Amino acid sequence: MLARHHDPIAAIATAPGRGAVGIVRLSGKGLAAVVATICGKPLQPRHATYLPILDGQGQPIDQGLALFFPAPHSYTGEDVLELQAHGGPVVLQLLLARCLEAAETIDVATGRAPLAGLRLAQPGEFTERAFLNDKIDLAQAEAIADLIDASTETAARSAARSLSGEFSKEVHVLLDRLVHLRMLVEATLDFPEEDIDFLQQSDAQGQLTGLRETLAGVMHRAQQGAILREGIKVVIAGQPNAGKSSLLNALAGAELAIVTPIAGTTRDKVTQLIQIDGVPLHVVDTAGLRDSLLPEVGEVEKIGIARAWREIESADAVLFLHDLTRQQTPEDPQMAQRYKAADAAIAADLADKLPVNTPIIDVWNKSDTAPAAVVTEVRTGVVISAKTGAGLQQLRQNLLALVGWQAAPEGVFMARERHVRALQQVDGQLAQAARQLKAPAPALDLLAEDLRQAQNALSGVTGAFTPDDLLGEIFSKFCIGK
């Protein structure tokens, strides 16, 4: 534990701005003396006490509630004091200043400060101390931030399940089975002269197969949880006037983007967070794609096209929008051919610039005004009308399926990309162990090492083997008072 983890800390624990209630929180060892100084009297543990909170000159700052939680029965595992007052920013700053002042005020009787060294907390430091003091594990700590940041009800419920320990329980079950398997291998290594073959007698192969099957289920739910947490970036791409802005408005259920029949109306990206079945989607409307060398393309539109390609290249999924009304133009057959050629050029560029695993959905728009014969000719993708809403529900479901959303919401716990990578590493190590175990003459020392590496990777999910720099990165993303 670093030296700074022994310092008493204080912070405003509620969000910036005005509100009905605001909270100032302190945590550290031996808070009782400073509690009496700030509150004017000792407090009964875990009972809310209504009292005036006075400044150093005895003048009231506010009337509020004070709660004292002696260690170890507190959020951080240390002594914790919470002052609940009116939620004005000035009031809370005065309360925080009073706490810092009271901690350093020399007591005449003892000649010492009640809580010397009290300092402002760093982001996430209260939760970091809860983790370091074994009140929660790392996966639960991350779930606290995920619960605060949840953008949909499904994400919030999944984060709450992780916070309650459901994800951690799954990991610990895997760990127990993995440790038992390691024990069998180590026993065979330590006692090679014994007649008993520990691995065969204990069905090590069967145990390893069962372990990998259970891991596959946990990985699936973790991948679903990562989708819930991170959301999906969906970029709408296509030629000018294909209806990209209309589709964004239809998916969002609001008039967010300007829609006109003038080509090149959208010059910069328009992003909106929406949800489909509780899954957050960051939908990006982009400038229409066309050859920047065309004489009618101005400098501003060229910049918009370049930005559109940058958004497309970083997308989790692309909706490639086609205009059905321009697939067949009896009054000008060459126009339809030019439109189809331009679509083909965009498709080639998408194939060239996107990672092979980025899904592309062909979306055929304006089915409400296109000739019926043209609509029936569509063989791939989804036919929609952004104007009437026809086909949008099918588009939503296809989009979720393509990006990997399959689980029932109540079976998902919140997870992060870090967790998914760790579980994938475990799966890789167990796959190597399985190959070793199936060999005619297994190299038991290599098998033991594969299992050890798998255990370390799995333990990293809950924080048993986690470097300090990773902890710093994780907790630095929390809010100050948490």
Q: Which residues are annotated as a binding site for (6S)-5-formyl-5,6,7,8-tetrahydrofolate?
A: 25, 82, 135, 482
Indicate the residue type of 430.
Answer: L
3-class SS shares of the chain: helix, strand, coil, % to 5: 50, 15, 35
Strands of the 360-365 sheet, one edge to the other: 270-276, 279-285, 232-238, 317-323, 360-365, 382-383
How is residue 211 written in tokens? 């372990």
Annotated binding site for Mg(2+): 245, 266
**What SS3 state is found at 138?**
helix
H runs (alpha helix) in 321-405: 333-353, 372-376, 392-402
> What residues form DSSP beta bridges with 362?
320
Q: Which residues are annotated as a binding site for GTP?
A: 241-246, 260-266, 285-288
d(CA 395, CA 33): 63
SS3 readout for 228-293: HHHCEEEEEEECCCCCHHHHHHHHHCCCCCCCCCCCCCCCCCEEEEEEECCEEEEEEECCCCCCCC
Binding residue numbers: 25, 82, 135, 241-246, 260-266, 285-288, 482
49-54: strand order across its sheet? 49-54, 60-69, 79-87, 19-28, 9-12, 119-120
Q: Annotated binding site for K(+), which residues? A: 241, 260, 262, 265
From residue 67, alpha-carbon distances to 59, 62, 91, 94, 101 in Å are 21, 15, 18, 18, 19
Whether residue 304 contacts residue 245, with contact meaning beta carbons closer than 8 Å, is answered with no
The token pair at 264 is 């090149």
**Nearest in space to 230 (alpha carbons), one of 152, 161, 163:** 152
CA–CA dist 320, 398 (Å, integer) = 13
For 55, other C-beta atoms within 10 Å of its C-beta total 14
HSE-CB of 271 using CA atoms within 13 angstroms: 12
The Cα 481–Cα 25 span in angstroms is: 7
To 5 degrees, how large is the angle CA 427–CA 132–CA 67?
Answer: 130
- Return d(Cα 476, Cα 454) in angstroms, integer: 28
Rounded to whole angstroms, the Cα distance separating 115 from 100 reads: 9
